[in-house]
């Protein structure tokens, strides 16, 4: 899996402080979670089993598939929404 943290500097339409995504080796977004500037979860999504990557960024291009955060950091943020 590949783990990315996006900010409004990378995504001009991002209203939250950060968007964290978990992406499989084929480029499909598996999970995503958005965090407000106050640190609260504003959005948390898991794609359907029938159509992976149906939400958010969908499928990313192969050159973009390099983690900029660790799995541990992603899981820490993900658990905030539980």
pLDDT, one tens digit per residue, over 14-58 is: 888 999 999 887 777 888 999 998 888 888 887 666 655 555 445
Q: What is the pTM of this model?
A: 0.78
Q: Left (φ > 0), alpha (ψ -120 to 50) or beta: where does 27 sit? A: left
* 3-state secondary structure (DSSP) of residue 79: helix
pLDDT of residue 73: 95
Q: How many helices (H) and strands (E) does the chain have?
A: 1, 4
pLDDT in tens, 47-68: 666 655 555 445 566 656 788 9
Looking at the predicted structure, is the pLDDT value of residue 71 above 70?
A: yes
Nearest to 41 by CA among 58, 22, 17: 17
């Amino acid at each position: 899996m590949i783990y990315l943290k996006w900010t409004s500097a990378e995504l001009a339409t991002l209203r939250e402080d950060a968007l964290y995504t978990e992406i499989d080796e084929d480029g499909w977004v598996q999970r995503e979670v958005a965090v407000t500037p106050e640190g609260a979860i504003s959005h948390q999504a898991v794609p359907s089993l029938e159509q992976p990557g149906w939400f958010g960024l969908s499928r990313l291009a192969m050159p973009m598939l390099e983690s900029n955060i660790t799995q541990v950091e992603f899981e820490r943020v993900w658990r905030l929404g539980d």
